[in-house]
């Protein structure tokens, strides 16, 4: 689809069955660093992934190398940079314009607050919903990915919507995905600091080196993309520097719920 895969896993492909020890976290960081940008591509419904993110943020902060934490889960423009380290959760959510209906604070709040307590700015990085409609008609976005990668993104949009989207919506929805990646890349690039690392927490496709955010970052930046994957080893077409396996999550039929919202055409 998009060329040779970069999928690899530091310290083997065995799944982490319990909370990793500080020694394991340190070993992983040693394998990934130095880097200017560290992308953590998660599965959104995997609590183990959010727990790992908190451990990684805390470990990087303790090393004094964490410049900022950027989030797909908050819109660009939101930031905790003006907060004191003892700011409360309500104040933090307000600073990030947090939408709890879209992204449960219970899942991501612990990581955010770990950064706030350490004095590390947390940045909203996603494209605001108010700008998505404009992206759907922006044909220039079609040129932001190489042809094979664009086709791969379009196929992921089809699959991600369970084949329920009319074909006329595939191109507009793909443009939104690309616009999101560009906004996250812009947010990350603006936060880069010499000798430190910016962490971006996002869904795994956004972190893919051939499809997502890395495609919109300058080649001068050292970017490491980490796939947090539940269950078995990944798709050969994915492109990551490392894969961290966690136990499988329960099977949920998301397509059944989506079918109620999007009639098949």
Q: Judge whether residue 265 has pLDDT over 50.
A: no
pLDDT confidence tier of residue 263, bands split at 50, 70 and 90: low
CB 85 within 8 A of CB 117: yes
The HSE-up count of residue 162 (CA atoms within 13 Å, CB side) is: 13
Mean pLDDT, range 71-88, rounded to an integer = 98
- 47-71 per-position pLDDT tens digit: 999 999 999 999 999 999 999 999 9
Position 161 scores a pLDDT of: 82
Position 155 scores a pLDDT of: 94
Could you tell me the end-to-end alpha-carbon distance of the chain, in angstroms, rounded to an integer? Answer: 26
pLDDT confidence tier of residue 256, bands split at 50, 70 and 90: low
CB 234 within 8 A of CB 227: yes
Q: By mean pLDDT, which of 18-32, 106-120, 178-192 is the weakest?
A: 18-32
- Residue holding tokens 């604070």? 105
Chain Cα centroid distance, residue 28: 18
Question: How do the residues of the chain divide into helix, strand and coil, expressed in percent and rounded to 5?
Answer: 45, 15, 40
Tell me the residue ranges of DSSP E strands in the chain: 37-42, 66-75, 122-126, 197-203, 223-230, 242-246
CATH code for the part of the protein at 22-261: 3.40.50.11550
pLDDT confidence tier of residue 5, bands split at 50, 70 and 90: very low
CB 239 within 8 A of CB 2: yes
C-alpha separations of 188 from 36, 45, 50, 68, 148 in Å: 10, 24, 19, 8, 25
Mean pLDDT, range 238-256, rounded to an integer = 82
C-alpha 260/C-alpha 56 separation (Å) is: 38
C-alpha separations of 37 from 95, 110, 194, 220, 246 in Å: 23, 21, 11, 11, 23
Q: How many CB atoms lie within 10 A of CB 115?
A: 25
Q: Which residues contact 135 (CB under 8 A, 6 or more apart)?
A: 127, 141, 175, 176, 178, 179
Q: Which residues pair with 66 in a beta bridge?
A: 197
Mean pLDDT, range 37-54, rounded to an integer = 97
pLDDT, the chain, mean: 90
pTM, rounded to two decimals? 0.89
Could you tell me the maximum CA-CA distance found in the chain, to the nearest angstrom? 53
Position 143 scores a pLDDT of: 96
């Amino acid at each position: 689809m998009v060329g040779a895969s970069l999928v690899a896993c530091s310290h083997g492909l065995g799944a982490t069955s319990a909370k990793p020890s500080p020694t394991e976290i340190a070993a992983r960081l040693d394998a990934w660093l130095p880097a200017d940008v560290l992308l953590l591509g998660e599965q959104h419904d995997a609590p183990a992934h959010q727990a790992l993110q908190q451990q990684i943020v805390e470990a990087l902060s303790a090393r004094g190398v964490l410049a900022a934490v950027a989030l797909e889960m908050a819109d660009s423009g939101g930031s905790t940079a003006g907060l004191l380290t003892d700011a409360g959760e309500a104040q933090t959510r307000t600073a990030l314009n947090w939408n709890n209906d879209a992204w449960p604070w219970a899942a991501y709040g612990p990581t955010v607050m770990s950064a706030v307590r350490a004095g590390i700015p947390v940045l909203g990085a996603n494209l605001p919903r108010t700008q998505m409609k404009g992206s759907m008609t922006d044909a220039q976005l079609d040129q932001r990915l190489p042809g094979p990668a664009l086709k791969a993104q379009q196929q992921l949009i089809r699959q991600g919507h369970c084949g329920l989207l009319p074909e006329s919506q595939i191109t507009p929805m793909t443009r939104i995905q690309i616009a999101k990646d560009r906004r996250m890349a812009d947010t990350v690039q603006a936060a880069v600091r010499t000798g430190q690392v910016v962490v971006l927490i996002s869904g795994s496709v956004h972190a893919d080196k051939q499809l997502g955010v890395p495609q919109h970052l300058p080649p001068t930046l050292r970017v490491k993309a980490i796939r947090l994957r539940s269950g078995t080893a990944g798709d050969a077409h994915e492109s990551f520097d490392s894969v961290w396996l966690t136990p499988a999550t329960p099977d949920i039929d998301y397509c059944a719920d989506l079918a109620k919202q999007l009639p098949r055409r």
